[in-house]
Amino acid sequence: MEQSWRQAKSIFFTLLSAPLVWLVLFFMVPLGIVWLYSFGQNEGLVGIAFTGTWANYQNAFSPLYLNIFLKSFFIAGITTLLCLIIGFPVAMAITFAPERWKPWLLLLIMLPFWTNLLIRTYALIAVLRTKGFVNMGLETIHNGLNAVTGGAMGTFEPLMLLNNNFAVVFGLVFVNLPFMVLPLYSALDRLDRSLLEASLDLGAGHIRTLFNVIVPMAGAGIASGVLITFIPALGSYLTPDLLGGPDSQMIANVIESQFKRANNWPFGAALSFLLVYLTFIAIAIQGVFEARARRRTA
């Protein structure tokens, strides 16, 4: 006879104890220390006094840092929107692909996770730089047209694709696109195909079926994809640091500079926890929308 975990609490808590201790010691305790730092002040060269001050949070809302926060939100929002626009057709293509192809298509989506983010970012640098693959390809086409037109195309000027906001958004989309595709595929794969057939049989057409049937039914997957794409994009550090220029820095780069170059750990901790608070708010908003969606379908 099967036994539920409520009837074997000792075994359940024994199995839970090791990961719980690990989580508390190596995640919750360090996180709590950083949270205390956000209410402290520098004392001497290396000391931090826990004074309970709110000055670090007040400083985070000064015009300089508020503009960086808003710019980070804008870049993360553009990244999420592009990932949704690109990822939805990809997820649909995988959903309606033949069964024998689905594992291979999913493997292609997950393949970037097998490569370190730093290596992928340096690969993008090789693609986007002045002498990168994109500009080399364009120069080849330009030289070919010059040969055909007798030099009418003039001198080739390479595109400035690196060290700007375009490179940051391009890199963030490249990095975060799988996070959008996978939850979208998970939601679309559970769709009732008979509803799609009924919509088409009643003369709705493919476009109308897409927006009136598929998109609403995939709402949970869209919400999950938006959340798990927007939050990492908002807190991204490596991509804007390597691909962006002086005007492309995001809030995570400011946090890094406060902990390292400025040696202002309390202010860096305050900025860090503002991101944590925003993450909790985003998760709460998603939970509210999902609860409303469940009530509408109940």
Which residue ranges of the chain lie beneath pLDDT 50?
1
Q: Is 158 helix (H, G, I), strand (E, B) or coil?
A: coil
**Residue 1's pLDDT is what?**
45
Q: What is the pLDDT of residue 197?
A: 82
pTM of the model: 0.87
Distances (CA, A) of 149 to 146, 154, 157, 159: 5, 10, 18, 22
Please report the domains of the chain, with CATH numbers, ordered by start residue.
Answer: 61-297 (1.10.3720.10)
The CA distances from residue 235 to 4, 116, 163, 176, in Å, are 40, 18, 19, 12
What CA–CA distance (Å, rounded) separates 227 from 7?
Answer: 37
The pLDDT assigned to 218 comes to 86
Name residue 150's amino acid.
G
Q: Please report, in angstroms and rounded to a whole number, the separation of the first and last CA atoms in the chain.
A: 34
Whole-number pLDDT of residue 233:
94
Cβ within 8 Å of residue 119, ≥6 positions away: none
pLDDT above 90 covers what percent of the chain? 54
